[in-house]
């Protein structure tokens, strides 16, 4: 079967598997001039499929390597509500696509519309933590390979958020030849003291997060007099609705929850909190940009500075720290500062 035919089959299968209300049309969006496509692609492990969403300028078919980008999400929430949630009519994916880019996001296994491992169909305590960072890297590798073949290019840009910075950084250190530029937003590095995420005690296969817990964590570290106007009216509710709808099983519980694999929490305990790095950022040999926000309690500023110092072989490296923002600054009042700074890096000439 030809490549275009295979893609078409996967799109049709995906459309059959989801309701028309969920499946985005492949027709151009009238207001944005972009086209949206969705795919289910095989992971390297049998029985696992990964959800990819693509946005690109309508009518465009060919993109240079420096105009193709893949997003990967963090430890707890899926890609869609982070990168393609329309707030005031614009998502981050929209913003980059409107600058002429071919933009993708991927849900790792256990998140969003990708396959939920079998352990998530049983009580969390029945199994050990699932989807560790090395597994997530395999899923990113499958997504990158799909995009490279689809567009006929040798390399693309990568953008990771939170745990996604660990995934994308480690992947790049192993696959510099497939990466054009690297953007790490809220970079994770060796933690002292332990990060403000996750439960104590024995870890099960996955964890469950309520809306209230999500909001409390979001605002942790924000001065009391700044909390009221940090998130514009209705934005948290829009994000929570999209995020919790991504887990139909968790949404039926009382109270509703979103479930997230605990492999990352095992890695936090065994590596980052223990003072051990999982990989060497000095092996990254592509231009790298770090972005961070002032009130990020999950990945504090010292991680940004320490990681930046480790990028000894990047052709060039930059970082920006945004004032009055948290770990979720891309969903807050100052999000355009993040979008603009990252875009400037992406659009810049390579050395």
Q: Give the CATH number of the domain where residue 260 resides.
A: 3.40.50.1820
Of 10, 51, 350, whose CA–CA distance to 180 is shortest? 350
Q: What is the value of pTM for the model shown?
A: 0.90
List Cβ neighbours of 142 (8 Å cut-off, separation of 6 or more).
41, 42, 43, 44, 50
Radius of gyration, CA atoms only, the chain: 19
Number of domains in the chain: 1
* Integer Cα distance of 10 and 12 in angstroms: 5
Confidence (pLDDT) at 194? 55
* Residue 192 burial (CB count, 10 A): 13
Mean pLDDT by runs of 10 across the 351 residues of the chain is: 39 36 39 88 97 96 94 98 97 98 98 98 97 98 98 97 98 98 96 59 93 97 97 98 97 97 94 92 98 96 96 97 98 98 93 71
CA 252 to chain centre: 25
Beta bridge partners of 291: 185, 320
Confidence (pLDDT) at 134? 97
Beta bridge partners of 159: 71, 183
**Structural domain range at position 76:** 3-347
CA distances from 265 to 63, 79, 228, 246 (A): 37, 19, 30, 21
- φ, ψ of residue 185 to 5 degrees: the values are -105, 120
């Amino acid at each position: 079967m030809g490549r275009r035919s295979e893609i078409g089959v996967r799109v049709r299968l995906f459309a059959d598997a989801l309701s028309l209300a969920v499946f985005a049309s492949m027709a151009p969006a009238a207001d944005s001039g972009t086209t949206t496509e969705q795919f289910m692609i095989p992971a390297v492990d049998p029985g696992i499929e990964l959800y990819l969403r693509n946005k690109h300028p309508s009518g465009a078919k060919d993109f240079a390597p420096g105009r193709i980008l893949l997003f990967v999400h963090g430890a707890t929430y899926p890609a869609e509500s982070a990168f393609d949630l329309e707030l005031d009519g614009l998502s981050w994916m929209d913003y980059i696509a409107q600058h002429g880019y071919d933009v993708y996001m991927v849900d790792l296994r256990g998140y969003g519309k990708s396959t939920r491992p079998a352990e998530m169909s049983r009580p969390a305590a029945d199994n050990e933590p699932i989807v560790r960072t090395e597994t997530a890297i395999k899923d990113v590798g499958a997504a990158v390979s799909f995009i490279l073949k689809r567009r006929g290019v040798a390399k693309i840009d990568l953008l990771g958020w939170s745990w996604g910075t660990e995934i994308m950084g480690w992947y790049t250190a192993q696959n510099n030849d497939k990466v054009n530029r690297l953007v790490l937003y809220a970079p994770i590095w060796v933690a002292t003291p332990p990060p403000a995420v996750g439960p104590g005690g024995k870890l099960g296969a996955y964890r469950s997060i309520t809306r209230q817990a999500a909001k409390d964590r979001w605002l942790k570290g924000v001065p009391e007099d700044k909390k009221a106007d940090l998130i514009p009216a209705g934005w948290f509710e829009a994000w929570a609705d999209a995020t919790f709808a991504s887990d139909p099983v968790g949404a039926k519980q009382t109270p509703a929850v979103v479930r997230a694999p605990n492999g990352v929490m095992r890695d936090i305990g065994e590596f980052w909190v223990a003072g051990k790095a999982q990989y060497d950022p000095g092996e990254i040999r592509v231009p790298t940009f770090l972005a961070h926000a002032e009130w990020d309690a999950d990945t504090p500023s010292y991680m940004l500075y320490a990681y930046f110092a480790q990028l000894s072989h990047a052709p060039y490296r930059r970082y920006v720290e945004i004032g009055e923002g948290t770990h979720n600054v891309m969903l807050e009042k100052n999000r355009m500062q993040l979008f603009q700074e990252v875009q400037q890096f992406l659009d810049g000439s390579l050395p």
